[in-house]
Structure 1
Amino acid sequence: MQKTATFSPTLTPRVKRWTPSLKGVLPFILPVAVILFWQLSSHLGWLSSSILPSPWAVFQDGIALTKSGELPKNLSISLYRATLGLLIGGGLGLVLGILNGTSNLCRLLFDSSIQMVRNIPHLALIPLIILWLGINESAKISLVAIGTMFPVYINTFTGIRAVDPDLLEMGKSYNLSKRDLFSKIILPAALPQVLVGVRYALGVMWTTLIVAETISASSGIGYMATNAEDFVDMQTVVLCIVIYAILGKISDLVAKSLEALLLNWQTTGRTES
């Protein structure tokens, strides 16, 4: 019997060789195109420097502020506030989410109150926090902690409550202790949802810090932007916006790397099956 040729939708060796490179390049095409068009528009006079300075002018301003030491100092202060606030708020949200997700007693005692507070816009608490803590570091860190706590809490709580009951029954049938049941079944099953909360909290962290550093602050990237605005220094204002965008992108990459590391077992399971 004569065999008929069948079409196989596999990639050619050349396409296979270039696919990883294309995946690495594609995300940068649009940002680079925007920057080039922005620079061209400024160079040709289509865009006034008083409205939006050119990318080259912003870059030169960043170099000057780096050499003077002002940018590294304020950037390190902002990173300190953001990191400490995330650790405090995210840690508290994780603990509360685990407690309320695994204990019906804790859920009945705390969840309703937490949900009421969660629905209050945390930025609306700024006047109250200033009255309580003043305008020092603790006020800014506390505001970031409040903003990052609830995304981690709600996703941790939801992830734990959504664990398949059949998995829990299977664990109990193997006579697993409560600790083993949590570490081997509940936590791995809830981890994807927990990491979604962490990723969302990273975005809230920078948004909150921007606002916190523009109110009665004397340091930080937000303070630099506010101070530059008072002196109509558009290059520094745009530079601060670009820095926040870069920090947000780095945070997102960190979150993706964390997901790839902690959820590697999911990919391995799919590959083996």
Structure 2
Amino acid sequence: MTISQTLTAPARTGATRGRASVAGLLTPARTAALKTTLWGLSFPLGLLALWWISSDAGWLPAQILPAPLVIWESFAELLQDGSLWVHTWASLERVAVGFALGALFGLIFGAASGLSPTFRAYFYPPVQAVARVNVLAWMPLLALFLGIDEELKYVIIAWSTAIPIILGTARGIENVSPSLLELGAAFNFRTRDRLRLIVLPASLPSIFTGLREGLANAWQTLVLVELFASFEGLGYLMVWGRQLFQLELVIVSMIIIGVIGLLLNIVLRWIEGLGQHWKTEVGDER
């Protein structure tokens, strides 16, 4: 081996190892996820570019749609004076309390409806009837009993959260495969083991679907209840900006609401993945 070959051999080995490490990171599943993410970002980025060009060209009056730079300056100002943190924290606290109450009630009621035919026959039809009526239609009646303070907001958010969780939990338990139940009977599973090893794993996808829908309902309902007799929160910030004809405040609030809602959905999907650890990345059971 010549001197030049000796010197270039380590470099070639390092390049080969680098390509192998990159190939190991870019697995087919991760490549598909990256493509999906890029495609998902292409539309909002295209809208942002069109918005920026339209504002610079003067195609849209500032009273109708402020420029992106104005939105950014308003966001920085709210962040600097601390008001954005106050409003965001107030909204998150309301969602946390309302979602926790609604999820707890929804899981218990849904599990009872799915496991007990008698309970389902008596109590499940009224829930389906109530689910057909928008929760906001009950707000004037609830305000007579609860007032217009935080309790009303908690109850409305919990109500909108519980409905999809009840439906998803009851549907998931009811649709457990009979063959799996027969398998548990063949192994002489006790009730506790049957629920833990068969019913719960089989119904988890439907339960988490209900939880995601409940969380989405909670976040959407939050904005609406904050429009009603509220003095803090992202929904209130939107109303305040509209009353002052400062649309940048409205748009900043909308962006924060959308980003937080997306992050909450991502966190819940991550928890769902942890709860269904027996599944692989492509969704096949091990």
Matched, 1:165 2:183: no
Match of 1:202 among 210, 215, 219: 215
Q: Match of 1:248, as an amino acid?
A: G
Match of 2:261 among 248, 252, 256: 248
Cα 1:118/1:182, change in 2 over 3 Å: same
Q: Which has the larger radius of gyration?
A: 2
Partner of 1:10: none
* CA displacement 1:45-85 (0-9 Å, x = unmatched): 11211101122211110110111111100100000001111
Cα 1:269/1:66, change in 2 over 3 Å: closer
Cα 1:15/1:38, change in 2 over 3 Å: farther
State the 1:21 CA deviation. 4.8
CA–CA separation in structure 1 for the residues paired with 2:146 and 2:70: 39
Q: Match of 2:129, as an amino acid?
A: M
Partner of 1:231: 244
Partner of 1:4: none
Q: Match of 2:182, as an amino acid?
A: E
Q: Match of 2:209, as an amino acid?
A: V
CA–CA separation in structure 2 for the residues paired with 1:89 and 1:271: 31
Partner of 2:195: 182
Matched residue count: 262
Match of 2:131 among 118, 121, 127: 118
Matched, 1:69 2:75: no
Residues 18-29 of structure 1 aligned to structure 2 (within 5 Å): 19=31, 21-29=34-42
Matched, 1:40 2:75: no
CA–CA separation in structure 1 for the residues paired with 2:254 and 2:236: 12
* CA displacement 1:4-33 (0-9 Å, x = unmatched): xxxxxxxxx999876365455333222222
TM-score by length of 2: 0.85
Cα 1:154/1:30, change in 2 over 3 Å: same
State the 1:264 CA deviation. 2.8
What residue ranges of structure 1 are gaps of 5+ in the alignment? 1-12
TM-score by length of 1: 0.89
Say which SS state the counterpart of residue 232 (structure 2) adopts.
coil
Say which SS state the counterpart of residue 265 (structure 1) adopts.
coil
Q: Match of 2:185, as an amino acid?
A: K
Identity, % of aligned positions: 30
CA–CA separation in structure 1 for the residues paired with 2:42 and 2:23: 19
Contact 2:279/2:285, CA 8 A, preserved across alignment: no
Q: Match of 1:26, as an amino acid?
A: W
Cα 1:267/1:69, change in 2 over 3 Å: same
Q: Once structures 1 and 2 are overlaid, which stretch shifts more, 147-156 or 118-127?
A: 118-127
